[in-house]
Structure 1
Amino acid sequence: MAQQGTDKITEAEESKARLRLWLRMLKSTRRVEAVLRDRLRSEFDTTLPRFDVMAALARFDTGLKMSALSGVLRVSNGNVTGIVDRLAEDGHVVRVQVPGDRRASMVRLTRKGEEEFARQAAAHEAWIAELLADFDAAEADLLSDRFDAVSHRDET
């Protein structure tokens, strides 16, 4: 009987430890994101959402339909449209009509956009390296694997 009580305490302690982990992860994520937003604004006169759109497009040479871009970024089409509009005004992306579908367009980076994204991505990588310098490569790989497992866990 005492063993069961110990198990319940252990389970409760584990639950509390996981809750503390979640809160610290959230706090750390918000801190890193705030630094990234500030540095993108001050060093490149851009925003994190614009960077995210360019990063998504950089992975697809032929571009993406707006709906696919929204899916990759996990945001609404409306959110992406305004960002793409501003990137197009700056000459970083171009919209190309999808043959046979007047309502659909592909969005892709221009050469100017590719060059600008390369500059931003290099700085972004350096900032992340600085912000997460307390983790060596082995720790970073282990944590990445563990968070991937959480991300891919089936919802029940």
Structure 2
Amino acid sequence: MIKLDQKCVALLKRTGAYDERTLECMRLCFELLTLTTAIDRDCASRLGAHGVSEGKFVLLFLLSDTKDGLSPHELAEQAGVTRGTITGLLDGLERDGHVDRHSHGEDRRKLVVRLTPKGRRLARELTATHGRWIASLFSDFSEAERASLRRLLAKAYAGTDAGRASLKGSDDDRT
């Protein structure tokens, strides 16, 4: 059994208006939220030991696949963050010696971001160790259990506003 965060326990204690099935469904949601919080905290701790946030890790990972680098705009788009956020992340990575910003060869108004040798080493190390750690969370699950969990999570996701919007978008793509 997952030990719920205190706020979830408090909410469950004050739900006298709900029947047992509703309470059980709420508890499952709170257990999932507690798990994701624990994963986020572990992730931050593991990356933090290397002086890197999750946002910086994503940029290191994205840049590790490219020899010629990417523009800040491309990084923002691929990482799913704003240009303002990218600027802050790049400032930190550059200050730590992990990336360099260069003028684009053909258009000097544009910037290209590339990993430094130090950044490339860190990206390689973190990609390997972090990927193994993430995979280890579900490595004791059988193939059938992972497939079942994937279906169940998708079913719960379909009940959220984001899930309904993505389903609507996929319906629009088929027409």
TM-score, structure 2 as length reference: 0.63
Partner of 2:115: 109
Q: Which sections of structure 1, spanning at least 5 residues, go unmatched?
A: 1-12
User: Which residue matches 2:47?
Assistant: 40
Aligned to 2:36: 29
Aligned length, in residue pairs: 139
Q: In 2, Cα distance between the equivalents of 1:142 and 1:108? A: 40
Aligned twin of 2:69: 63
- Give, in angstroms, the shift of residue 29 of structure 1: 2.5
* CA displacement at 1:124 relative to structure 2: 0.5
Tell me the residue number matched to 2:14: none
The one-letter amino acid paired with 1:97 is S
Q: Tell me by how many angstroms 1:49 deviates.
A: 1.4
Q: 1:139 to 1:111 in 2, by over 3 A?
A: farther
Q: For 1:106, what is the secondary structure of its paired residue?
A: strand
Change (3 A) 1:138 1:82: same
The structure with more strand, counted as a fraction of residues: 1
1:84 and 2:90 equivalent? Answer: yes
Gaps of 5+ in 2: 1-20
The alpha-carbon distance between structure 1 residues 90 and 134, as it changes in their structure 2 partners (threshold 3 A), is same
- 137-146 or 119-128, larger mean C-alpha shift: 137-146
Q: TM-score, normalised by structure 1?
A: 0.70
Q: Equivalent residue of 2:113, what SS?
A: strand
Q: Percent identity?
A: 29
RMSD: 3.0
Cα distance in 2 between the residues matched to 1:134 and 1:85: 39
Q: 1:139 to 1:62 in 2, by over 3 A?
A: farther
Q: Which structure exhibits the higher relative contact order, with contacts defined as CA atoms closer than 8 Å and separated by 6 or more residues?
A: 1
